[in-house]
Structure 1
């Protein structure tokens, strides 16, 4: 998310008492990473009742601890109590009051910060679950503690709209801000600001107690309205290094790396000159002076690029880089605690192996646009032989293929748009979350970016399957060809292809049906819902656990390192054993920053029935050509023994469109002609079934 600067308003607080200090505030627009209004790694304070349409009674939470030392009106506070009605209090005698007014007032709620104080309903509805929650992001000494009213509902009658989001961010460096970001509740008014402990002093945003909710239209942060509060006075000089984008988390030994990124000015004076510094592992700073700039106040930004490059000499070493700005307009920074950005990077040799890309698509039988996502992921797999797709069924509505771990993955990565996809779990430039939509060819472009990306490790799967006990035994092995460092985990998915069932938990909603913008789509006339839909690549189990298996791979790995993890999983009786495959991958694990959980490499096992302990392999497919095919194609396969064989063609939704052959065939090589002259353009699947074995070939009809 990029910071966008709008006009600024500085309001002096109401002040009672000649020597008392008050808060002042500024108003800006836009929030930046790593803050995310839809953050998934959070802790709930209170949540709506499960019954639709019912609300929590007015209440204050128990004490929530602040994870760092923080002051409010000059006094140290260690925690707060959250109200369902849009504020926090630093006093356990404060009650939850739905009737907002214009502070200061001795009647309270005193000793409080008002994010959006009004009659708020925390209730279950048709969208996201209403809740109050908290989380902390950033690194010491620049941590930020967030308390958020998430998707809350207007309690007042007559308000247009159904949801809004508001948050308070407490900064370890001092002070706080209030974010009103994302909602549709036009005409909803409230009180925003803060008040001291005895109701004699308050700083209230102009317009309160009838301040209209700003209705930011999207969750991407660009249009969030931010009220930033300073105790006493806004600093005159206050520069913060927001990011460093020139250095990757891994750099190649002896390479030349430019240190570059963004600096923001949160002081009350425009910045015309500054020094930019960096230090490696605490060594003497490398300084560059910058002049003839004009960095605007209250969030104005400047892109820096240090002229002295960093060239690490030794592989297999972790380095700590610190970047900061000082000598601002020839003066010291008035708030030095938030100056410095710290970044850890690892040096490798740049040796890579071939990559297998994993595309994880969030989907649901209830999701009407998801069939188009399925089509796109099928097209990607057809274009690249080194891509695997896994469908993660999730969401609140009915879907009989979602389960605890699939929902957990969706929550961990804040998957809120369906269909949405993660490609190698990378947070791509310009995106605020790892899962992203299919618009603008995002999935295709990001997959193309990853198929030849650097990878320091080969991943392989050895497997066996006992059809009597239905036990799958699998070992995932990682062979490193280069240095690597971090919390690297082994992951294993059990995936079932071609899943069908009856009822709303399997019938696929399909907004493409009859849609005037999708007349050429293969599912245009498929119905809505599509009865008996053929669900591809369905995630069924996660034997490694959602976080992955830890403790197998050390924190720093050298070339030649080999590490393995064994798993055992009993296949449920209603899963079709001939449609099961395993997908393994190595990924970084970072529980506090989901943008740093990239997959290093992945592998697919193919069908587990090719490893059945008690059935000898009888069927092997050779080829189908030409592919794409316009008229007549030839399918070749081999039988070790005489067997009854069915050759059929099915469409993308699993419907049988033609039986090519169904007869007993002798051992040896076979070639079967398949005419597609009466087929429409699109993707089809040729199934070869011989006894208890089957093989599927994807073909593309293009005339």
Structure 2
């Protein structure tokens, strides 16, 4: 006969009777890691749902407490050692495999176990989904037999919030094969003055007598405030017998590519996976086979990874020559002065590579949100345009649209966050902190511009009958480098418009009084305006296609080929009240002059992700002989223009050309354009409204181009 034991867990204490059951461990900074790859499978924005990213609707917004219909499990999973095939979800934060339940679900904060909660349940008690946009959705990530089934409580309110002042997004995740259960705290939003601490009790209830709660003590949770996955945290529940004594050594942060003759630092962590507390251990480390150093560490490690110790080893000198490698080995072998039960996570080895430190000029992607559906996004986009104006082609703008089928597919969200870029550089949501982030932008742009490799897009071609775009991304190393390289690409298009409710919104004239702005000279609101930098597809995902860990020498290259069939017709455009007539259909393959491709490279190291470089090539560059290397810090405005343009450049421009879409040169001038604005009349060279290209050449022979809309 199997004994039934009650497990009580809290934030400040952990007590357990040794028995088979569910045991939690706490993890921070990200979503649950796959037992297959060791990396998170769900990299989506926390707000992704059935409207934006192929999530399946489980429970519609409800005004009363209720259960969903029975949902079939889309993965193979065992709960408490027994296979389960279906589940129900409530709008009060309960997922149960007891699909016979009919009574109203329990609402509010409660200690576990509870008679009113069905057997075989995973819960986040204290949630209440009764708002118009509160819903439960689910989605499967990863391949069999290591899939993760995510069941997400989207935009729920705390049960104590009757005014709708706050909303929370949380999830319960079931993993195939490992039979692990994860409870994920994702993000929150609250009105000014409302509390951002929430009294919840996440946990697992096997039956009326056995439960593994996380918060029977009644403490309040603080939630991540952003919608990015990187700052989520979660509890992992393993089924079985908990490890008796297991202290884990890991690398929190280090850089393994070090300029020869300088020092490297290593930040490490120690986490307690045990069911008992630990108060001491000894850390040993050895560099390049030399003498062994040791350090006794005293710290009150609570059970279940509830708190983490971090330490640092400083001043490890990485001698040259460039290309040489050095090795640091770190290990522990005891906890509480007792040999551990589990020892396979007690050793770490880091290989450092000496590099020259000679690097190439880099570019960075800056992502902006859709201007049509976000009240503050046009202003944010305008600030981003100003940044691009300041930094020139160092910045590549990318914009994403989700409404009215304009996104084209479900992988059109970039939403990548890199540890060497400010969070606002690559972020599709409204950003009230843009002004404060701008203070850090100069430093970030300077660092990003110094990249160990160049990225170029080449071999672009478009089949106008099928809409298939092909291009290659070439990464060329200028210095020694080692790491897990990721290479990706984006297909961008300018002058995209939609005709649904989200894209019929008018543009207020307060956004059109800047002569450098896209909406300049339209004193009346524009209805159904064009969008720029729209991303249709991201090859390899937000971080790019992952390659095997490898070392590279100067001159080494990586070449990946990408192709994508651009949507032929998303929605007929029926708007007539626009200065950009005729509108016609949104058919990308019919206007190749608006197509661009972006290549980018990133890498991962010690659990962090870093941006290396990017490059952009418009499709019309190939036809109009515009060089890949764009000239930074030059601008023309107004755009659209009616009778003149103003050209301003920091670098010396020696030649200016205005070219039509067929490549015919309509205006050519050899002049010295630098620092001061140069007014160029358009009436003598341009006769009809349309899209033209302005091409400039600097004193070094570099060429660059910008698109011009002429509306006499």
Query: Structure 2-normalised TM-score?
Result: 0.61
1:453 to 435, 450, 454: 450
Task: Write the distance in 2 (CA, Å) between the matches of 1:365 and 1:126.
Answer: 20
**Structure 1 match to 2:693:** 694
**Structure 1 match to 2:436:** 440
Tell me, what secondary structure is at the counterpart of 1:602? strand
Deviation at 1:583, TM superposition (A): 3.5
Q: Answer yes or no: is 1:404 the counterpart of 2:408.
A: yes
Q: Answer yes or no: is 1:559 the counterpart of 2:554.
A: yes
Aligned 8 A contact 2:62 2:129 in 1: no
Aligned 8 A contact 1:356 1:387 in 2: yes
1:518-566 per-residue CA deviation (whole Å, 9 max, x = no partner) reads 9999899999994158656422544857579969999554433345456
Aligned 8 A contact 2:58 2:71 in 1: no
Q: 1:446 and 1:54, CA in 2 relative to 1: closer, same or farther beyond 3 A? A: farther
Deviation at 1:608, TM superposition (A): 0.6
Task: Write the distance in 2 (CA, Å) between the matches of 1:354 and 1:251.
Answer: 19
1:234-253 per-residue CA deviation (whole Å, 9 max, x = no partner) reads 989764446421x2254456
Q: 1:133 and 1:439, CA in 2 relative to 1: closer, same or farther beyond 3 A? A: farther
Q: Answer yes or no: is 1:164 the counterpart of 2:168.
A: yes
User: Over aligned residue pairs, what C-alpha RMSD do you find?
Assistant: 6.7
Task: Write the distance in 2 (CA, Å) between the matches of 1:472 and 1:194.
Answer: 49
Task: Write the distance in 1 (CA, Å) between the matches of 2:592 and 2:395.
Answer: 18
**Structure 2 match to 1:34:** 30
Aligned 8 A contact 1:493 1:583 in 2: yes
Q: Answer yes or no: is 1:611 the counterpart of 2:610.
A: no
Matches within 5 A, 1:126-205: 126=133, 130-132=136-138, 148-151=151-154, 153=156, 159-161=162-164, 163-167=167-171, 178=183, 182-183=187-188, 193-196=203-206, 199-202=208-211
Deviation at 1:403, TM superposition (A): 1.9
Aligned 8 A contact 1:275 1:287 in 2: no
Task: Write the distance in 2 (CA, Å) between the matches of 1:343 and 1:159.
Answer: 53
Q: 1:241 and 1:175, CA in 2 relative to 1: closer, same or farther beyond 3 A? A: farther
**Structure 2 match to 1:370:** 377
Task: Write the distance in 1 (CA, Å) between the matches of 2:214 and 2:296.
Answer: 36
Tell me, what secondary structure is at the counterpart of 1:378? helix
**Structure 2 match to 1:418:** none
Tell me, what secondary structure is at the counterpart of 2:412? helix
Q: Answer yes or no: is 1:479 the counterpart of 2:476.
A: yes
Task: Write the distance in 1 (CA, Å) between the matches of 2:268 and 2:427.
Answer: 24
Task: Write the distance in 2 (CA, Å) between the matches of 1:150 and 1:427.
Answer: 28
1:194-232 per-residue CA deviation (whole Å, 9 max, x = no partner) reads 4445x4444556769xx7986848358999998898999
Tell me, what secondary structure is at the counterpart of 1:390? strand
Q: Answer yes or no: is 1:582 the counterpart of 2:619.
A: no
Q: 1:240 and 1:509, CA in 2 relative to 1: closer, same or farther beyond 3 A? A: farther
Aligned 8 A contact 1:87 1:117 in 2: no
Deviation at 1:382, TM superposition (A): 1.6
Deviation at 1:84, TM superposition (A): 0.8
Deviation at 1:104, TM superposition (A): 5.4
Task: Write the distance in 2 (CA, Å) between the matches of 1:309 and 1:593.
Answer: 17
Q: Which moved more, 1:101-110 or 1:348-357?
A: 101-110
Task: Write the distance in 2 (CA, Å) between the matches of 1:173 and 1:117.
Answer: 28
Aligned 8 A contact 1:64 1:79 in 2: no
Q: Which moved more, 1:600-609 or 1:101-110?
A: 101-110
Aligned 8 A contact 2:257 2:353 in 1: yes
Tell me, what secondary structure is at the counterpart of 1:110? coil
Aligned 8 A contact 2:279 2:301 in 1: no
Tell me, what secondary structure is at the counterpart of 2:380? helix
Tell me, what secondary structure is at the counterpart of 2:449? coil
1:427 to 416, 419, 426: 419
2:124 to 115, 129, 132: 115
**Structure 2 match to 1:419:** none
Deviation at 1:87, TM superposition (A): 4.3
Q: Answer yes or no: is 1:47 the counterpart of 2:69.
A: no
Deviation at 1:115, TM superposition (A): 3.1
Structure 2 unaligned regions, length at least 5 = 1-9, 33-39, 569-585, 639-644, 696-704, 708-712
Aligned 8 A contact 2:544 2:602 in 1: no
Aligned 8 A contact 1:262 1:303 in 2: yes
Task: Write the distance in 2 (CA, Å) between the matches of 1:512 and 1:285.
Answer: 71
Structure 1 unaligned regions, length at least 5 = 1-6, 138-142, 414-421, 646-663
Task: Write the distance in 2 (CA, Å) between the matches of 1:623 and 1:120.
Answer: 50
Aligned 8 A contact 1:84 1:96 in 2: no
Aligned 8 A contact 2:137 2:153 in 1: yes
Matches within 5 A, 1:80-119: 82-85=87-90, 86-87=93-94, 95=101, 98-100=104-106, 109-116=118-125
Task: Write the distance in 2 (CA, Å) between the matches of 1:624 and 1:191.
Answer: 56
Matches within 5 A, 1:230-309: 239-241=247-249, 243-245=251-253, 247-248=254-255, 250-251=257-258, 256-264=263-271, 273-277=280-284, 287-291=293-297, 293-295=298-300, 297=302, 299-306=306-313, 309=316
1:82-117 per-residue CA deviation (whole Å, 9 max, x = no partner) reads 53134456x777757643397657896334443338
Q: 1:277 and 1:462, CA in 2 relative to 1: closer, same or farther beyond 3 A? A: same
1:58 to 63, 68, 83: 68
1:171-202 per-residue CA deviation (whole Å, 9 max, x = no partner) reads 999997755564569999987544445x4444
Task: Write the distance in 1 (CA, Å) between the matches of 2:60 and 2:115.
Answer: 37
Tell me, what secondary structure is at the counterpart of 2:367? strand
1:583-624 per-residue CA deviation (whole Å, 9 max, x = no partner) reads 43232488x99963x4432223357167159xx99xxx9998
Q: 1:21 and 1:355, CA in 2 relative to 1: closer, same or farther beyond 3 A? A: closer
**Structure 1 match to 2:613:** 601
Q: 1:599 and 1:500, CA in 2 relative to 1: closer, same or farther beyond 3 A? A: same
Deviation at 1:366, TM superposition (A): 0.9
Task: Write the distance in 1 (CA, Å) between the matches of 2:19 and 2:462.
Answer: 75
Deviation at 1:440, TM superposition (A): 1.4
Deviation at 1:391, TM superposition (A): 2.9
Aligned 8 A contact 1:364 1:395 in 2: no
Tell me, what secondary structure is at the counterpart of 1:408? coil
Q: Which moved more, 1:311-320 or 1:356-365?
A: 311-320
**Structure 1 match to 2:533:** 538
Aligned 8 A contact 1:193 1:204 in 2: yes
Aligned 8 A contact 2:508 2:525 in 1: no
Q: 1:330 and 1:47, CA in 2 relative to 1: closer, same or farther beyond 3 A? A: same
Q: 1:403 and 1:579, CA in 2 relative to 1: closer, same or farther beyond 3 A? A: same
Deviation at 1:355, TM superposition (A): 1.5
Task: Write the distance in 1 (CA, Å) between the matches of 2:462 and 2:24.
Answer: 65
1:611-666 per-residue CA deviation (whole Å, 9 max, x = no partner) reads 159xx99xxx99989999xxx9788996899x999xxxxxxxxxxxxxxxxxx988
Aligned 8 A contact 1:180 1:214 in 2: no
